[in-house]
Structure 1
Amino acid sequence: MNKKEFLSRLRIALCSLPEEERENAVKYYQEYFDEAGPEREREIIEELGSPEAVAQGILQDYADNNPQWASIHYHTPSPAVEEAKKRKMPVWAIVLLCLLLSPLLLPLGLIVLTIILGAFGVVFGLFIGCIGLMAAFAVTALVVLAAGLLLAFAGLGSVLASPAAALLCMGVGLLLIGFSILGIVAAVWLIVTCIPTVVRWIGNLCRLPFRKGGAQS
């Protein structure tokens, strides 16, 4: 419905008013639309509601101020108002429509719910997998560190009995200790950097369905 249709239906709904009063009322809303501008036309129509409802308020005000006119005209609803009432879908029809559509809506709703839960399940599984992988990496680094320390101490203890073997053990032990320290630093960096990022990403994903206007364009 546009401005022209709104004013036309308003004029019809006010047909029981004296001509001058009717034209004044239509002129008022005409100027209201003009002041708002074409770009706000739809917004103004949504704000005012149906022309018949606007006309009902105008008729009520005029009837309150003109009891004599009201005793003759106001008790008789205008044809436009009656037509608007007929166009309204009764409650039983809405209930019947919902029942008829339920075989289609229920499976569709279940499919959508399954997809949403599946997506969240995949994201959660990836998150747990990342944590497990980081934990395994850290544990492996600690085990390598322990092995390097044992080899280094073993080589140190046998340096008098077999210097060559002792040097080899200490060298391998120190090499393992160096690799394990690098691994521990890398694991800590991954945990500190990646986990907050993943948590923030999951939080944003969970908020997507509830953002007002976030999906509007």
Structure 2
Amino acid sequence: MKIVLLSVVTLLTTSVAQAQTALYLSIPSVSDATLSSWDAEVSSVFSSAGCEINRSGKIGGALGPLAWPELNTFRLYQCNESVLTALVEAGVTDKLTSGSRQPVLVEGDLVTMDAPMPTVTAEYIIKVSYYSDTDGTLRDKDLVALNTKVSSKKGVWHTEGVLIPSKTVGTIRPDELTFLFYDSSDIANKFRDEHPEILEMIGQFNGAHLTSFLYLGATISEN
């Protein structure tokens, strides 16, 4: 996937579901046999924690100043309870390593939004954020201003959820992972072409509130 101006941030919404424990897993390119073997080995751990795959897909590119491992597959699990510690204790978190590339696992509370279900044609985006300000008051104010700006626009992105990490393996813990999508790449490109002023607002937001960030462009699999 060619990423062109993946400039998006969390779109505030008044309809938010209760937070649930979630695990984000991203892995380098491994063989189908390796992945199948790993799935079989960890199935009991995931089952005990009540984990199910909420979203999965292929990462096609990245945009942003953050140095992030080159990984090409992601999964987002929703669980009834924490599972990452159990995976570490079982000694399985490094079994998806390929060469020098290790998997990234991020666990925390996932707040889901009232968004439509994305299809396989969606332009899916995962934003990795490290914030520079611990007081979110001004950040929230700027998000409200952005929300007001885009609320009447057609073809705007949908925010599926925000993961607030508490534990990580393979990376320094981010402040947020945001999962969002446009209905298609054509809609995404049209929106960005027609609304440069919104892209400018997003750039200003990133500059004012983040020490580093990265947009991961993905295609999702059918559930």
TM-score (norm 2): 0.22
Q: Determine which structure has more spread, i.e. the larger CA radius of gyration.
A: 1
> Whose relative contact order is higher, 1 or 2, with alpha carbons under 8 Å and at least 6 apart?
2
Q: As a proportion of its length, which structure holds more helix?
A: 1
TM-score (norm 1): 0.23
